[in-house]
Amino acid sequence: MSALTKLRSPVKPMVEPRAILCSTGNRVKPSKTETAKKKQQVTKSPPDSSVTSNFSASNDDSSSSSTSSERSSVKTTDSKKILTPSKRNGSVAKLNGVVAVGNIPPESPGPVKRCHWITPNSDSIYVKFHDEEWGVPVRDDDKKLFELLVFSQALAEFSWPSILHKRETFRKLFEDFDPLTISEFTEKRLMSLKVNGCLVLSEQKLRAIVDNAKSVLKVKQEFGSFSNYCWRFVNHKPLRNGYRYGRQVPVKSPKAEYISKDMMQRGFRCVGPTVIYSFLQVSGIVNDHLTTCFRYQECNAETEKESKTELDLLSM
């Protein structure tokens, strides 16, 4: 046989399957005979009942477990919603996604509610002034009433905390606010208060204090005391406004305007309606504590106690 005949002889088929390029990479494509054999084996062998039952049981377990997990998650979220306020007490702990509830201690009472002008940053002397003095009825004490009138006039130049810090200085320079002594201040004594620089009050305010002291003495001669003069405008009973919010509290009132006019006619100076309303508030002639403030009810209780004592004295 020639070489040409050998080259033209047919090529024998390859026994091993060729690797083809699939979407998941190079894999060996099985032959048709192998595929047919596998199909015959699958059709001949019946399905294993144990495998089927196990498969169904596992599906049931998974479904039940998913349902129980969903219920537990709902309960957990509900418990979280209920126990959220007490987390700060350390009574609720979360471990591996499970909320553990221990003994929940009782909630501690909140901060004391005061009037709107007292804040967490307020001066301690100012807070004490609110809790113990502001709004408490001042009766039968002309010196104290005159002192509060002077402080109400000084609010045009000072704030309440500044006045309270200078309170002892005021008392020393004005002879403990004795109207009789202040009415006798000479021009030299009056100017010395300004030169010393102990007070920042203007000269107008200093002269008004001396003039008002003289007017207080006149009122005492007519009404017996400065206290009787002041309290007669409200029939000797404090006015209770009962405001709930700070924005409702006015800076003056018709009653303050009426008292202001009467005092001006009697020779008082620097006693405008705003000054007089501040004086009525601080002296307790008007109870302007907010109804949400703990001092509102306490001041009312003190007033009722005084009224009861007066009735007992009159009945004797």
Q: Which residues participate in the annotated binding site?
A: 115, 130, 289, 293
Helices assigned H by DSSP within the chain:
3-8, 32-44, 49-83, 124-132, 142-154, 160-165, 167-173, 179-183, 187-195, 203-223, 226-231, 254-265, 273-282, 294-315
Report angle CA 181, 182, 187 to the nearest 5 degrees: 120
Is the Cβ–Cβ distance between 271 and 257 less than 8 Å? no
Within 8 A by CB and 6+ apart from 262, the residues are 233
Closest CA to 173 of 195, 152, 156, 153: 195
Q: Are residues 211 and 160 in contact, defined by beta-carbon separation less than 8 angstroms? A: no
Q: Which residues are annotated as a binding site for Zn(2+)?
A: 115, 130, 289, 293
Q: What are phi and psi of 270, to 5 degrees?
A: 55, 45
Residue with tokens 């032959």: 31
